[in-house]
């Protein structure tokens, strides 16, 4: 195969990923109805001691980190504020404060990085659009240049906590002490930092020790989310339906058995593949100029020629179960007149390794040519049905080992962890539906002690309609300000998005327990900040 003489610097300048351009949304203004004056009431619920159990969505995690402002606007904190109105008194709601302005996102060299913000790395005049980047990234102005801080042990009173949510945990990790044991593969340092007895007591045990009168239990998202955001590349973190059934039933039964008067609310799992994390990087995110596309196409002349050779050999087609049409779809071509699909490996495709070997054995290609074909045994270019992760935005167009001929997504297939294939999307949706059936059954079988907040239906409606108007303002299922309800990580809501979620829980609680809890005014909660320039 010919060498690919790419001008990497030119290519990198042309590739636009992680775009934060706001989609135009046309809305019909709602009919103005005079407000009905009602007296807040707790109904048959008792919010005296409200306790929350969950993961990052309940901890106040947003923009890729746990930080002060995010915790102050966590889902259960917002709920507690509204519960106080219904209870008729100001309720205490204590959280394991992180005490960090920007939190912890990761480490780059010797620098701790903080939460994500929208950063226009090449400035307003540059060709790239603003994209999420961690605080402390090269080129960021003050105060963002300082970076974040490492999480420290919680120094407050652990006996007075109300929020036991831990970012990153699976459902089963709430039930086992090992989540606080550093020697265990289930260890989570964000739990150990405020656990009463790390490695000895579970999250659920500590939550019950707080003697709740009402609980929020919102676990299960990570049992599909982690698998999805990792491009379905790690089945070990994709909880089985059987295990989810056992773990969820155990958790809810344990909660209800602890106190005959205890009531609570649970939530369905939203369809994770509809979050911005899977839509901000387009499947055809590779723009090339004429010179670069010509060079790239020249590099694939050998590969495409081999595909044609296999198509013209009936013996090979039969031996490996191939069709001419299927092989044609696997040829690689780039254009200078439109944005190009991304080169990926599709493990559902028939492996062409055997056919390549057969061509070498027949003398049609050399051993050197066969070796050059090895990375392309299952490659194709993306289609509109493929979902590209937001994290791919920092990889597409970069070189492998500094070699300008090896460009991710162009001459080198994008890694599996950055792509969801249609079959994987279907698998994730099916598992989510199964989990939601289990969650609903648990609520239905609680003798009217557990309300069900249907987050899945609410977010599906928002995504389908592309926007909604609440409290006189528009919110959209994306992250660009001023309407985006998701934070800069494309996964977690921002403060306004959490207020939107809180109102879904309030509707469910009001309906189940005859309460009159006023909804949060989402217009009073912040969205993401405008892009920052160098």
Name the residue ranges covered by the structural domains of the chain.
Answer: 8-12+284-381+387-420, 43-280+423-524
**What residue has token string 């290519």?**
11
At residue 4 the predicted structure's pLDDT band, cuts being 50, 70 and 90, is very low
Mean pLDDT confidence for 60-78? 98
Has residue 471 got a pLDDT over 80?
A: yes
**Separation between Cα atoms, residue 1 and residue 352, nearest integer Å:** 16
Give the right CATH number for 43-280+423-524 from 3.40.50.10090, 3.40.50.1110, 2.170.150.70, 1.10.260.40: 3.40.50.1110
**Separation between Cα atoms, residue 209 and residue 219, nearest integer Å:** 19
212 touches 260 (CB < 8 A): no
Q: Which pair of tokens denotes residue 343?
A: 């080169």
**Separation between Cα atoms, residue 233 and residue 420, nearest integer Å:** 9
Which residue intervals of 349-473 are DSSP H helices?
Answer: 353-361, 367-373, 422-444, 455-465
Has residue 19 got a pLDDT over 80?
A: no
Mean pLDDT confidence for 143-153? 96
At residue 252 the predicted structure's pLDDT band, cuts being 50, 70 and 90, is very high
The continuous run of DSSP H or E covering 344 comes out as strand 343-345
At residue 12 the predicted structure's pLDDT band, cuts being 50, 70 and 90, is very low
Has residue 423 got a pLDDT over 90?
A: yes
The string of pLDDT tens digits covering residues 30-65 is 555 565 567 999 999 999 999 999 999 999 999 999
Residue 127: the pLDDT is: 82
Has residue 2 got a pLDDT over 70?
A: no
Mean pLDDT confidence for 129-142? 94
Has residue 29 got a pLDDT over 70?
A: no
The least confident of 15-24, 474-483, 512-521 is 15-24
The string of pLDDT tens digits covering residues 333-359 is 999 988 999 999 999 999 999 999 999
**What is the torsional sign of CA 318, 320, 324, 326?**
positive
Burial of 9 (0-12, 13-18, 19+ CB in 10 A): exposed
Percentage, residues of the chain above pLDDT 90? 90
The string of pLDDT tens digits covering residues 356-403 is 999 999 999 999 999 999 999 999 999 999 999 999 998 999 999 999
Has residue 248 got a pLDDT over 50?
A: yes
**What is the torsional sign of CA 502, 506, 507, 512?**
positive
Altogether, the residues listed in the chain come to a count of: 534
Report the mean per-residue pLDDT for the chain.
93
Q: Which pair of tokens denotes residue 398?
A: 């970069």
252 touches 446 (CB < 8 A): yes
DSSP string, 142-203: TTGGG---------S-GGG--B---TT--GGGGS-GGGG-TTSTT--HHHHTT-SSTTTS-H
The string of pLDDT tens digits covering residues 405-418 is 999 999 999 999 99
Give me the residues paired with residue 214 across strands.
Answer: 50, 263
Residue 17: the pLDDT is: 40
At residue 128 the predicted structure's pLDDT band, cuts being 50, 70 and 90, is confident
**Separation between Cα atoms, residue 60 and residue 73, nearest integer Å:** 6
| 134/124: higher pLDDT | 134
């Amino acid at each position: 195969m010919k060498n690919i003489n790419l001008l990497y610097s030119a290519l990198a300048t042309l590739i636009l990923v992680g775009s934060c351009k706001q989609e135009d949304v046309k809305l019909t203004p709602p009919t103005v109805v005079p407000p009905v004056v009602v007296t807040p009431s707790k109904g048959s619920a008792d919010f005296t001691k409200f306790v929350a159990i969950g993961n990052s969505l309940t901890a106040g995690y947003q923009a890729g980190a746990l930080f002060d402002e995010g915790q102050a606007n966590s889902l259960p904190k917002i709920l507690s504020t509204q519960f106080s109105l219904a209870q008729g008194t100001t309720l205490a709601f204590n959280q394991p404060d992180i005490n960090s302005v920007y939190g912890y996102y990761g480490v780059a060299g010797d620098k701790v990085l903080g939460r994500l913000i929208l950063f226009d790395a090449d400035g307003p005049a540059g060709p790239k659009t603003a994209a999420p980047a961690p605080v402390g990234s090269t080129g960021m102005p003050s105060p963002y240049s300082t970076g974040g801080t490492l999480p420290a042990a919680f120094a407050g009173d652990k006996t007075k906590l109300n929020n036991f949510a831990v970012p990153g945990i699976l459902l089963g990790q709430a039930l086992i002490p090992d989540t606080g044991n550093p020697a265990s593969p289930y260890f989570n340092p964000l739990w150990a930092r405020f656990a009463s007895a790390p490695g000895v007591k579970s999250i659920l045990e500590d939550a019950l020790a707080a003697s709740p009168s009402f609980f929020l239990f919102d676990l299960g998202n990570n049992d599909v989310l982690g698998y999805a955001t990792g491009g379905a590349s790690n089945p070990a973190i994709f909880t089985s339906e059987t295990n989810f059934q056992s773990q969820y039933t155990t958790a809810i039964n344990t909660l209800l058995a602890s106190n005959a008067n205890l009531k609570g609310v649970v939530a369905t799992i939203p369809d994770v593949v509809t979050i911005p994390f899977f839509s901000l990087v387009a499947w055809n995110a590779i723009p090339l100029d004429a010179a670069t596309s010509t060079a790239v196409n020249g590099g694939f002349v050998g590969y495409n020629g081999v595909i044609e050779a296999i198509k013209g050999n009936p013996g090979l087609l039969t031996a490996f179960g191939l069709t001419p049409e299927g092989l044609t779809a696997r040829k690689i071509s780039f254009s200078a007149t439109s944005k190009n699909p991304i080169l990926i490996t599709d493990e559902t495709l028939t492996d062409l390794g055997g056919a390549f070997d057969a061509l070498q054995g027949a003398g049609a290609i050399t051993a050197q040519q066969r070796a050059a074909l090895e990375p392309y045994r299952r490659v194709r270019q993306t289609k509109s049905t493929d979902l590209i992760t937001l994290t791919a935005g920092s990889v597409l167009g970069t070189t492998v080992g500094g070699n300008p001929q090896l460009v991710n997504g162009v001459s080198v297939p994008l890694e599996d962890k950055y792509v969801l294939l249609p079959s994987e999307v279907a698998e994730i949706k099916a598992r989510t539906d199964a989990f939601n059936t289990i969650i609903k059954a648990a609520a239905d079988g609680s003798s009217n002690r557990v309300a069900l907040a249907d987050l899945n239906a609410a977010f599906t409606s928002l995504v389908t309609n592309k926007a909604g108007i609440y409290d006189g303002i528009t919110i959209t299922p994306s992250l660009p300000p001023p309407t985006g309800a998701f934070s800069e990580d494309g996964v977690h809501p921002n403060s306004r998005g959490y207020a939107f979620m809180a109102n879904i829980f309030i509707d469910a609680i009001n309906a189940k327990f005859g309460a009159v809890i006023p909804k949060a005014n989402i217009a009073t909660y912040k969205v993401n900040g405008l892009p920052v320039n160098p």
